[in-house]
Structure 1
Amino acid sequence: MKNLSQRLFCTILFVAGLVTNGFAQDKKPNIVYVLVDQWRSQAMGFLGDKNAHTPTLDRLRKESMHVRNAVSGMPVCSPHRASLLTGQYPLTHGVFMNDVLLGIDRITLPKVFNQNGYTTGYIGKWHLDGHGRNSYIPPTRQQGFGYWKALECTHDYNNSAYYAGDSDVKLKWPGYDVIAQTDDAITYIKDQATKEKPFVLFISMGAPHDPYQTAPEKYKKMFENKPMILNPNIPEANREKATRDLRGYYAHMAAIDESVDKLWQTLKDTGIEENTILVFTSDHGDLLGAHGFWNKQQPYEESIRVPFLLHYPKLFGKNTQWKSDVLLNTPDIMPTLLGMCKLPIPASVEGIDYSDVLREFKKNTVEYTLISCVQPFGQWARKMGGKEYRGVVSKRYTYARDLKGPWVLFDNQEDPYQLNNLVGKPEFAKLQATMEKALVRELKKRKDAFKPGLEYVKQWKYLIDETETVPYRTVNYEGKPILE
């Protein structure tokens, strides 16, 4: 619980905004939204990860709201991004697989901000177009963003392409794209800081998603001889590969951390830090050998939990360590940002506006949030054990069922590495029944009949290959097909 002075500070700011209507309208906050790819929540120095080198994020946490229970409800790239931009769940917007198009008729976050006097910009990985990972994305499919330097998807970080604005000429980011995209974002921020209108800028970085061994040498050397501390849920057979991959994973993170420092410093140097909402988060996590698996899609902690730091000095002050236990799911981000900016939330939004809860003006009453895999594909295709599931997460427990029945139940407080599946154990029958009832309520709320994945594929007319994956037309830096 935050101390009285912090509460009083927040209340004074809020009331002042209500009383001085002109000021509140003229000084809408800017948003700088840093979205990285496949960064699991636990990989932070301030959370005790001895492997991580995240000095900037550790400092940022000391001056930010830390949403400790942020969840990627469908932990895979395109579904997260579609839910982030629409505030809707995947069965509503239809993007429950990678490499499919988010309908251009959707009411999206940039469109709403545009309508309310904001300038909007997007830099980096898009992954919502469905026309091929290297294809030109015309403005009609840019979902309302104005400034545009993006590519559908690449993880070739040192040979990274993009298209700018309405031009179909393919360009290349110089060097390692995390650094180049950050430099471009800094230029954009400096330019916008001199103007009257507020702005929203998304910087979408492809790292630390695999391939893990492609960060610049400066960062790789930081970890090349460093012993990796492995979690106990990594089987012995996976530990050598996990050690190698983790070194590269943390090298990418170190580069990102340094880039966040540059962005943060730019907000200070331009004098707009006080009234800018700076968010650091990820689209999903990474298993990295946990439970014998890699990548994402599964309901384990390493896959579904994401970092979420919200830095907004005007509201939360500085040198504080605000924290919240709200179950912030992906569809909740859009309405929460709109709520913090005092903007209307479209009726199409299904997520929850947590802005008043984060400010402690309203009590949190949400006890469960939905997680799901509508159709397994790609890196978790059926031949790799992939399967449909629906589940719920509470502040303490994770529960999921597949089409055959209850699958996993974990007490994340007593068993943080999820080594003890409680499904079917008589002493936990009451808990399992409680979680099942919560899941039934969430599915009813979402009008989700939990049908086999291929029925939804047919409904949305998606074309899939023999692995039940939507194919695309690109190869990775080694000339080999990438599945995600």
Structure 2
Amino acid sequence: MHQGRYILIAVASATLLSVSTAGAKKPNIVYLMSDDQTTYSMGCYGNPDVKTPNLDKLGAEGMIFDNHYVTTAICMASRATAMTGMYEYKTGCNFDHGHMVTGIWEKTYPMLLREAGYMTGFAGKFGFDLVEKPDGKKLPLPADDFDFWGGGPGQTQYATKQNKSMVAYADKYPHSTLSYGAFGSDFVRDAAESGKPFCLSISFKAPHKPATPDPKFDDVYKGKTFKKPENYGREKGKHFSKQSQQGRQYERFKSWNYSDKYDEVMAIYHQQIYAIDVAVGMIREALEEHGVADNTVIIYTSDNGFFCGSHGYGSKVLPYEESSRVPLIIYDPRSSNSGKKLRSEALTANIDFAPTILKIAGLPVPENVDGSDLMEVYGNPKAVIHESIALVNVWGTKATHTMAVVTKDMKYLHWAYAASGFEVTEELYHLGKDPHELVNQADNPEFSPAMARMRKTYDKHLAHWKSEAVPFHKYQAYGTIFDRNGSWADKEALLGKPKRKKDKK
């Protein structure tokens, strides 16, 4: 059907409050993802020390999600999950495990949207590689699977000229963050001129280490001091498991200078995010200039959070709040809920992005997807699309491998590693009353009923892992390793002998 023949049909819905795509002009989608961004790096998440005017405006016009999690707090796995709508153990994709097989890639939202007639564009850190079979040779990045390509391999580079697909922007935008804003603006212009519906995905490198802010914004936080979070420092992390202290995220509290140069480190971190904010403004300006803003849904999030010194940790990976709970803003100009400065406490996760984007486009969602439609929450901020979410780490030092489950108010972590010097450890936090995870209630008799419920929830998610995990890249083994009732001897046989040296930085 030609685009000009679409008939606009407004369909009232108590839950969705959106415009049907069955006969209407299909909506455009802009999906923006930062890298390693914690929630308290934004004004709209309650930090008065930072400047994020464009993101704050986006939040005021759309909806801010206060309980949004990444199911794996590390970039490769998180990005694969966002593209597919599946937990890591179903994508089979993460460092230490393996690349994404093409059969799974073919069911990602960019592939399905382009197949349905959407113009698609990608720029930034792609985050994972493809193989035809689990043990196959790594394939080139899928540039040909997009109409416009500005993506790059690995971590990409902050210097625009070092990113092969973005070299054309290097003279005017020597730092990559603004180059992605320019790429997005150009894509919007060309897509609007084409008349086709479009989906733009941009994956900023910032604020990922090595910290390299755009010098254009050196004055934004010059000499600034920052209030430390309530759970800052080693004293606020003594109740965490011994297992959690074995990975590099523990030593990085000191080696990355959160312990002694907090204001300096955080000024650089926030400066990088300020540049993202400017880039978001560039893209929104282009949407307005080319007349497509009123039919474009914008999603902004991060691939994982960052400890930034909370509990005496740096980096990410572990399923604690600063690492696994991340920003999420959605703005749908077609909805009557927009412009009301709404927030939602609904439990949501990065498994929800692929099904949400496909639903926005009016496309069917593959049956194997684990996520739900975020627009149900946009239509009704009190809607429940998940009772619980699993949080996973099977990367890095084996002692830190863990699975946790989170509900709207509670979080349970099970640390299975029990080699010499360790014992199985459980942690339970009442997030509703203790959002900074300062009191482990696992041994508190008053929380025995809650502990029983969360263990049951954990077992349910593990059963799903056992039945759904891909039969490659060693994911099946964790059905045994994370079993609360299994013997350590069986688990140790699967894990192998522990390494005594530290992770590489």
Change (3 A) 1:357 1:51: closer
* More off after superposition, 113-122 vs 324-333: 324-333
Amino acid aligned to 2:392:
S
For the residues of structure 2 that align with 1:409 and 1:12, how far apart are their CA atoms? 36
Determine whether 1:399 maps to 2:388. no
Match of 1:108 in 2: 108
Measured against aligned partners, the alpha-carbon deviations of 1:267-321 in whole angstroms (never above 9, x if no partner) come to: 1111111110111110000001111211111111110011111111012454222
Change (3 A) 1:240 1:79: same
Task: Tell me the secondary structure at the aligned position of residue 450 of structure 1.
Answer: helix
**4+ runs deviating over 6 angstroms:** 12-16, 465-469
Indicate conservation of the 8 Å contact 2:33/2:300, yes or no: yes
Match of 1:233 in 2: 231
Determine whether 1:441 maps to 2:440. no
Match of 2:359 in 1: 339
Match of 1:5 in 2: none
Q: 1:6-155 residue pairs with structure 2 within 5 A?
A: 11=13, 17=19, 21-22=22-23, 24=24, 27-97=25-95, 100-106=98-104, 107-129=107-129, 138=140, 141-142=142-143, 144-154=145-155
Q: In the TM superposition, what is the alpha-carbon distance from 1:159 to its structure 2 partner? A: 5.3
Change (3 A) 1:145 1:318: same
Indicate conservation of the 8 Å contact 2:299/2:330, yes or no: yes
Amino acid aligned to 1:224:
K
TM-score (structure 1 length as normaliser): 0.82
Q: 1:198-209 residue pairs with structure 2 within 5 A?
A: 198-209=197-208
For the residues of structure 2 that align with 1:446 and 1:335, how far apart are their CA atoms? 20
Q: In the TM superposition, what is the alpha-carbon distance from 1:445 to its structure 2 partner? A: 2.7
Measured against aligned partners, the alpha-carbon deviations of 1:337-371 in whole angstroms (never above 9, x if no partner) come to: 21222211112322223433432399525321111
For the residues of structure 1 that align with 2:92 and 2:129, how far apart are their CA atoms? 13
Determine whether 1:298 maps to 2:318. yes
Q: Give the alignment's Cα RMSD to 1 decimal.
A: 3.4
Amino acid aligned to 1:215:
P
Amino acid aligned to 2:354:
M
Amino acid aligned to 2:49:
N
Match of 1:315 in 2: 335
Match of 2:368 in 1: 348
Indicate conservation of the 8 Å contact 2:30/2:296, yes or no: yes
Measured against aligned partners, the alpha-carbon deviations of 1:216-240 in whole angstroms (never above 9, x if no partner) come to: 2342322231111111322267432
Change (3 A) 1:59 1:292: same
Indicate conservation of the 8 Å contact 1:37/1:283, yes or no: yes
Measured against aligned partners, the alpha-carbon deviations of 1:82-137 in whole angstroms (never above 9, x if no partner) come to: 11111111111111337842112211111110121111111011111179xxxx96
* More off after superposition, 281-290 vs 323-332: 323-332
* More off after superposition, 419-428 vs 291-300: 419-428
Determine whether 1:250 maps to 2:270. yes
Indicate conservation of the 8 Å contact 2:410/2:430, yes or no: yes
Determine whether 1:196 maps to 2:198. no
Change (3 A) 1:160 1:246: farther
Task: Tell me the secondary structure at the aligned position of residue 370 of structure 1.
Answer: strand
Q: 1:326-475 residue pairs with structure 2 within 5 A?
A: 326-360=346-380, 363-364=383-384, 366-373=386-393, 375-377=394-396, 381=397, 386-404=399-417, 405-447=424-466, 450-452=479-481
Indicate conservation of the 8 Å contact 1:37/1:284, yes or no: yes
* More off after superposition, 396-405 vs 199-208: 396-405
Amino acid aligned to 2:40:
Q
Indicate conservation of the 8 Å contact 1:388/1:452, yes or no: no
Indicate conservation of the 8 Å contact 1:51/1:250, yes or no: no
Q: In the TM superposition, what is the alpha-carbon distance from 1:195 to its structure 2 partner? A: 1.5
Match of 2:305 in 1: 285
Match of 1:219 among 217, 220, 232: 217
Indicate conservation of the 8 Å contact 1:62/1:319, yes or no: yes
Indicate conservation of the 8 Å contact 1:155/1:210, yes or no: no
Amino acid aligned to 1:216:
D
Indicate conservation of the 8 Å contact 1:287/1:296, yes or no: yes
Q: How many residues align?
A: 440
Indicate conservation of the 8 Å contact 1:63/1:319, yes or no: yes
Indicate conservation of the 8 Å contact 1:154/1:160, yes or no: no
Change (3 A) 1:56 1:172: closer
Change (3 A) 1:333 1:467: farther
* More off after superposition, 321-330 vs 440-449: 440-449
Task: Tell me the secondary structure at the aligned position of residue 446 of structure 1.
Answer: helix
Matched residues, percent identical? 27
Match of 2:4 in 1: none
Q: In the TM superposition, what is the alpha-carbon distance from 1:376 to its structure 2 partner? A: 2.8
Indicate conservation of the 8 Å contact 2:124/2:156, yes or no: no
Q: In the TM superposition, what is the alpha-carbon distance from 1:394 to its structure 2 partner? A: 1.2
- Note the residue ranges of structure 2 that are not aligned, 5 or more in a row: 1-9, 132-137, 235-253, 418-423, 468-477, 483-489
Task: Tell me the secondary structure at the aligned position of residue 348 of structure 2.
Answer: coil
For the residues of structure 2 that align with 1:318 and 1:360, how far apart are their CA atoms? 11
Indicate conservation of the 8 Å contact 1:316/1:322, yes or no: no
Indicate conservation of the 8 Å contact 2:300/2:329, yes or no: yes
Q: In the TM superposition, what is the alpha-carbon distance from 1:247 to its structure 2 partner? A: 1.1
Change (3 A) 1:361 1:283: closer
Q: In the TM superposition, what is the alpha-carbon distance from 1:204 to its structure 2 partner? A: 0.7
Q: In the TM superposition, what is the alpha-carbon distance from 1:215 to its structure 2 partner? A: 1.0
For the residues of structure 1 that align with 2:412 and 2:181, how far apart are their CA atoms? 38
Determine whether 1:270 maps to 2:272. no
Indicate conservation of the 8 Å contact 2:31/2:201, yes or no: yes
Change (3 A) 1:317 1:193: farther
For the residues of structure 1 that align with 2:261 and 2:190, how far apart are their CA atoms? 44
Task: Tell me the secondary structure at the aligned position of residue 123 of structure 1.
Answer: strand
Q: In the TM superposition, what is the alpha-carbon distance from 1:12 to its structure 2 partner? A: 9.0
Indicate conservation of the 8 Å contact 1:151/1:161, yes or no: no
Change (3 A) 1:452 1:152: farther
Task: Tell me the secondary structure at the aligned position of residue 223 of structure 2.
Answer: coil
